[in-house]
Structure 1
């Protein structure tokens, strides 16, 4: 009887074990050798355990991405993947199909459409292609360093040139800052955005690509002009344009930038969004670079670019930031500029000497808006104490644009030592009045007309926090306003900026 029972148990185990142990048709390692660099699929690993099939898709941009809810029907598998930057569609459905012994991978993540063909690989191949995941340091607090007492001013390559930037163009922009008088008006930073990165050497040190043959020579050239120079990176494996990021090399990159002689770093979350998607991890990723920059001993302005997430202004200073983006990218359009400038320019309580809300770069000179719209752009950024970083080709600055950008009285509002970010004090339909108290006791008052027809607007003493206006000066027209209590005509999509003193 005992032998019979044992035989029955063995038969039962033999009948059920293969169902659990048998690998599925998709199981194993799949290698992708010629995948599109965005996001750069390198490998898919799939395993079936206990009747459940799961795995990961490994990419150069986002590392190992877990497969969720995978189902298999014949030669096709469907599964979901976490998506980026799309709150309405936080997951996307992917497919994998067996085709003549190979695996076709179809899906979408962020702006990338994936249609790649992979081949069978081995466990040894998987070990060789495994993504090396790094860990973040604990969150700390960096003490103020005395930099950025007023909002930074300068120029950046991205708005005009995107990743198509090179050594020659950067030198030309430095030359133009000097010859145009923009440097003397306060624009001192020449910032290289995305597109300068090459590969890493055997020691892990980042090298510039062929467009930038000698970074130290370039920084020396810019410094000799009485200017400062900035550079760009991401805490992710790839930058927004797909170049080498700082993931796994943060301290090494910070030292390289210092050794090259850079004075400013814009640090863009980009592919780091996959790794750092909570308030804690985002803060720690910026702290990691902020602390690394401090450790170099070189004063380097630190620009946080994470699009205003997780109330960045409330912690930007603590991680070493001197300015922090409050929004996504600006474009040279009235609707986009006004949406950012009026509605997404950050909490004024967070701005002041040493740290600034950054609604992104100036579009003046790029030609997408009218003169009056650019007046609104400059007025809004100035009264908001925003960084003034130009984004056009400085060699093609028109006299009209130059006059807007170099108006010393308007710049003085932005650069006021008190460092208060102006706020809306009154709104009536398309008409808005903003005010900004200044260090000498006067008040900057901006009258905005967001409508499509000229509008007569009244300057009221209460707009300046006063019971009576003693004098007012129109900073764009450079003239005294004879009767501050009289109506002021503001052009369609235009602005009037006044410096007012109580009577």
Structure 2
């Protein structure tokens, strides 16, 4: 049996998408990624300061226990044995010392490579060296691999498309785990969405990027959510999730001047990423994080939905709102979302406009709601019980603001409730006469 064939036999299926259950990555990863904040300008000491800040702010305790070292950590060329060599100026005590320092703080270390000849930053990629590089990464102490898609070899070299180039690393991960009788390195596919990785990447790893690099301004977040509106709810489950890219909550340092989100935009960003079950990897400066930034990232009510041990699927749109349903609009993605969880029925309402809006929905627009019932309403941002509701909920949201509520069944609705059906279309009396309200 070939390696690829045996890999495919390990598939399980969740909510309609293939998911590789190889013992790692059942739930979305939480942690920090170095790229957006530093790109290539960092040292081990600078990164460990970020790790310590995450601990000091209580976010490690909240679950942010992955520390992802992105591009630019190595020398430009391999050594005489063909191995990747850490940059001695950035890591003067060596990479093992760096990962051991992270482990002492409580972090699992992740690293970056590429399915081409070089990484996007021009450092050695792993094409043709997959097994060798895995040995290096494991020896250094890394357990998680973000795998990019730059510097692609010619077609007559690979005789494969994107999928085949990623299979090479997935096969190497499986082979190493089997030969060493160890847990496989977790694989995060970073293909940027050009070849619809949500359709195939779950066969190889536990997460996949759905688009290009994020930027810390509303139009960039809105465009990502617009794309996600069309498939995320149907392609997410345990061991299989769409990666909407890093969290840009707080000081990012990107742009001139630096682009930072408003408080309400940051709440919307975090809420959407978490409830869509994306990995939550912080891309902003935690050493200078404000109380508001820590409050947003540490929202336990939102995080417990992202990390739900019993329900793996993401929320999905039930109505677009500003546009007719299924309208492609990067400025106005779907605004009304719902899904199930272990803790109740989840609703997320987004105001995609630049001004405050009154927004309302019928509870039975959600597939997870029972008609004819009253529901208790819990606000996942105010952390308050807000009484009960039946039939409809109405709320006012600030520009680019969000509401995230959790509903739980609180019994039958009042006997005198009218109209008789929340959605009147084809609602009928026992004799077959239609009821119209």
Structure-1-length-normalised TM-score: 0.69
Q: Is 2:231 the counterpart of 1:339? A: no
- Asked if residue 455 in structure 1 is aligned to residue 341 in structure 2, the reply is no
**Corresponding residue for residue 20 of structure 1:** none
Query: 1:163 maps to which residue?
Result: 40
2:316 matches 1:423: yes
Q: Larger relative contact order (C-alpha < 8 A, sep ≥ 6)? A: 2
Match of 1:183 in 2: 60
Query: Hey, what's the Cα distance between the residues in 2 that align with 1:148 and 1:250?
Result: 21
Give, in whole Å, the separation in 1 of the partners of 2:216 and 2:157. Answer: 29
Q: CA deviation at 1:138?
A: 8.6
- Aligned pair 1:305/2:305, yes or no? no
Show the counterpart of 1:470.
375
Q: CA deviation at 1:456?
A: 1.4
Structure ID, larger Rg:
1
Secondary structure of the 1:434 match is strand
CA distance in 2, matches of 1:176, 1:186: 14
- Structure with greater strand share of residues: 1
SS in 1 for 2:320: strand
What is the alpha-carbon distance in structure 2 between the residues aligned to residue 238 and residue 171 of structure 1? 26
**Are residues 279 and 486 of structure 1, via their aligned partners in 2, closer, same or farther at CA, if it must alter by over 3 Å?**
farther
Deviation of the 1:277 alpha carbon:
11
Secondary structure of residue in 2 paired with 1:251: helix
| 1:426 Cα deviation after fit | 1.3
Runs (5+) with no aligned partner, structure 2: 11-20, 178-182, 253-258, 323-331, 411-437
* Match 1:272 to one of 152, 156, 161: 152
* Residue of structure 1 aligned with 2:346, choices 425, 444, 452: 444
Counterpart Cα distance in 1 of 2:132 and 2:158: 25
Runs of at least 5 residues in structure 1 that lack an aligned partner in the other structure: 1-136
| 1:203 aligned onto 2:88 | no
- Closer, same or farther in 2 for the Cα pair 1:501/1:225, shift >3 Å? same
Distance in structure 1 (CA, Å) of the matches to 2:377 and 2:160: 47
Could you tell me which residue of structure 1 aligns to residue 385 of structure 2?
480
**TM-score when normalising by structure 2:** 0.79
Total equivalences in the alignment: 365
Q: CA deviation at 1:420?
A: 0.9
SS of 1:237's equivalent in the other structure is coil
* 1:500 to 2:407 alignment: yes
Deviation per CA, 1:4-43: give whole Å up to 9, x if none: xxxxxxxxxxxxxxxxxxxxxxxxxxxxxxxxxxxxxxxx
Question: 1:318 pairs with 189, 203, 210, which one?
Answer: 203
CA distance in 2: counterparts of 1:152 and 1:496, whole angstroms: 24
1:276-316 deviations in Å (ceiling 9; x for gaps): 99995211211111121233334321110011232212221
Maintained 8 Å contact 1:234/1:269? yes
Task: Tell me the residue number matched to 2:129.
Answer: 249
* Matches of 2:141 and 2:280, distance apart in 1: 22
Contact 1:276 1:282 in 2 (8 A): no
Matching residue of 2:303:
411
In 1, Cα distance between the equivalents of 2:159 and 2:293?
Answer: 40
CA distance in 1, matches of 2:374, 2:110: 43
CA gap of 1:276–1:439, structure 2 versus 1, over 3 A, is farther
Deviations 1:200-232 (A, max 9, x none): 111111101121230111111111111101111
> Which residue number in structure 2 is paired with residue 147 of structure 1?
24
8 Å CA contact 2:374–2:388 kept in 1: the answer is no
CA distance in 2, matches of 1:158, 1:279: 31
Secondary structure of residue in 1 paired with 2:387 = coil
Contact 1:385/1:421 (<8 A) preserved: yes
2:426 is aligned to none
